[in-house]
Amino acid sequence: MKNYQGKTAVITGAGSGFGLEVARIAAQRGMNLVLCDVQADALEKAAAEFEGKVPVLARRVDVAKAVEMEALAADVKLRFGAPNFVFNNAGVGAGGMVWENSLADWEWVLGVNLMGVVHGVRLFTPMMLEAAKADPAFEGHIVNTASMAGVLNAPNMGIYNVSKHAVVSLSETLYQDLALVSDQIHCSVLCPFFVPTGISQSHRNRPADLAAQKPTKSQLIGQAMSDKAVSSGKVTATQVAGMVFDAMDADRFYVFSHPQSLASVQLRMEDVMQQRNPSSPFAAKSEIGEQLKAALRGL
């Protein structure tokens, strides 16, 4: 995209983290804001920040629920018409050994991380394509938040890995599909690594009907490791938001917050190409792997 003034941005997970920081840049660029979050108090605070500066439409939405996303899309079309920028960003984190995750865990994580993106794509893409067909000057961009967990497979966080791999696959396919039908609408996938946001405390917004069971040892260990890794991240959510807009400005698909970590992606691809067993993710820091193994085995 080249022009943002007066255009419309739809942002899920807008109450904090990447969503809020992206909203701030969008407002600076003069965009109308559609802010969505499942946490009502955070959403209200975010909306208040922008009131009087740019047009704002704030909606409490559980992105996992089709009916709520459909209502959101209808409200957006009525208020602003087709959006120019859709940031399918809402996400939750969860860990533990993959066989220990309950059905409720799977429904919660896949509902938010994957189906939330699916709903954003299926509802807003047709709107954007229709607008592009009617107006040769229309510009649109969809950004889906995945994770480095979408291109790697660290142990003890399988349910999260699965959800984010699906988002990468969906986004890569969306890129190819859009290229077949339009030169005016593009997409990117955001793959952040450990960045200080509220994702490690996602359980604060877990729905009551998908309540967690008593955590297993592996889940407690995974939570502790996630808390430490996320809180100690050096790259900020503000910096990541800037990367999102840089990617849209340049029409760049892959957005990596920690490009130095791509060496691990290369190693994984070499495993595939050489048909060898997956390499240890702890090759460079064997002590972490040994500590995790000892903790899980109770040594």
Sequence-separated (6 or more) residues with CB below 8 Å from residue 67 = none
User: How do 32-37 and 8-12 pair as beta strands?
Assistant: parallel
Tell me, yes or no, whether 213 and 275 share the same domain. Answer: no
Tell me, yes or no, whether 268 and 249 share the same domain. Answer: no
Residue 74 lies in a domain: yes
Tell me, yes or no, whether 14 and 100 share the same domain. Answer: yes
The phi, psi pair for 197, rounded to 5°, reads: -140, -175
Tell me, yes or no, whether 35 and 100 share the same domain. Answer: yes
Please report, in tens digits, the pLDDT of each residue of the chain (299 residues total): 889 999 999 999 999 999 999 999 999 999 999 999 999 999 999 999 999 999 999 999 999 999 999 999 999 999 999 999 999 999 999 999 999 999 999 999 999 999 999 999 999 999 999 999 999 999 999 999 999 999 999 999 999 999 999 999 999 999 999 999 999 999 999 999 989 887 778 888 888 889 888 999 999 988 888 888 888 888 999 999 999 999 999 999 999 999 999 999 999 999 999 999 999 988 778 888 888 899 899 85
Q: Could you tell me if 143 and 187 are in contact, meaning their C-beta atoms sit under 8 angstroms apart? A: yes
Residue 3 lies in a domain: no
pTM of the complete model: 0.95
Tell me, yes or no, whether 276 and 252 share the same domain. Answer: no
Give how many domains the chain has, as a whole number.
2
Residue corresponding to tokens 């995945």: 146
Tell me, yes or no, whether 211 and 272 share the same domain. Answer: no
Q: Please choose, from the candidates 191, 203, 194, the residue with its C-alpha nearest in 3D space to the C-alpha of residue 225.
A: 194
User: How do 140-145 and 56-60 pair as beta strands?
Assistant: unpaired
Tell me, yes or no, whether 169 and 283 share the same domain. Answer: no
Residue 218 lies in a domain: yes
Residues listed for the chain: 299
Tell me, yes or no, whether 197 and 287 share the same domain. Answer: no
Tell me, yes or no, whether 201 and 295 share the same domain. Answer: no
Rounded Cα distance between 18 and 239, Å, is: 9
Q: Give the CATH number, domain containing residue 103.
A: 3.40.50.720
Domain that holds residue 266: 261-299
